[in-house]
Amino acid sequence: MTNPNNFEFEPLTRPQVLTIMGITAIVLLIIAKSWQYFGSVALFPISLSLEAFLIGLGIAGLIILASSGIYKIWPAYRRSAQYYLELVLNPLAVPDTLWLGLLPGLSEELLFRGVMIPALGSGVIAVAVSSVLFGVLHLGGAQQWPYGLWATAVGLILGTITIVSGNLLIPIVAHIVTNFVSSLVWKLDH
C-alpha cells in the first residue's frame, strides 16, 4: 500500500495516533512495573527540586538545538525525521502535542532510565543497552535508521545524566519538554 506521500503505511488518523500512543505508554509502564516487581529492581530516585527541573529544561534545549542542527545538515536524518513527524503529527491537533510530550516522556523514562539502567547495573553497559533499545523503539523501519540512531544518541545523553545526577526527574523533564516543544513547533509551522 503506497500513497502519494511515500508513506510505508496509510496515513494514520488522530484517534489512531492517540490510541497507539496511549497503548504504547501503558505497555511500557506494565513492562517497567513488572520488571521492577519481579526483578526486585529499585526505581531510580525521583527527587523534586527546582534545580533538577531547570537542568531538565536545559538538557531539553540542547537536544532540540542539536536535533535542529542535524536536521539542517544531514539529509538522511531530515527525510527520516520528516517521515516520522508527518506520520505522527499531521493527524494531531495542536493541544495533542501535550500528550505527545507527557505519555512517551513518562513511560519511556520510567522503563529505559528508571528501571532498565538499575536492573542492568547502573554503569556504562547499562546506559548503552538501554540507549540502543530506546533507539530501536523509535525505529519505524529499515529506512528510518537515522531517526533510530538519533534516538539512541538521545538515550545516551538521558542515561548519562540519570547516572551522573542520580535523579530520574531530570531526564523525565528533558524528554517531556523535548517532545512537546519539538512537536508544537512543527505543528505550528505546518
Q: Are 131 and 54 in contact (CB under 8 A)?
A: no
Residue range 78-99: mean pLDDT, rounded: 92
Would you place residue 165 in the very low, low, confident or very high pLDDT band (cuts 50, 70, 90)?
Answer: very high
**Per-residue pLDDT tens for 9-25?**
678 899 999 999 999 99
- Tell me which H or E stretch contains 131: helix 124-137
- The sign of the dihedral angle between the CA atoms of 4, 6, 9, 13 is negative
User: What is the amino acid identity at position 186?
Assistant: W
Helices (H), 39-116: 50-73, 75-89, 96-108
Cell of 61: 534545549
The pLDDT value recorded for residue 45 is: 94
All residues at 6 or more sequence positions from 6 whose CB lies less than 8 Å from its CB, including other chains: 83
Q: Work out the mean pLDDT of the chain and round it to a whole number.
A: 92
pLDDT per position as a tens digit, 48-67: 999 999 999 999 999 999 99
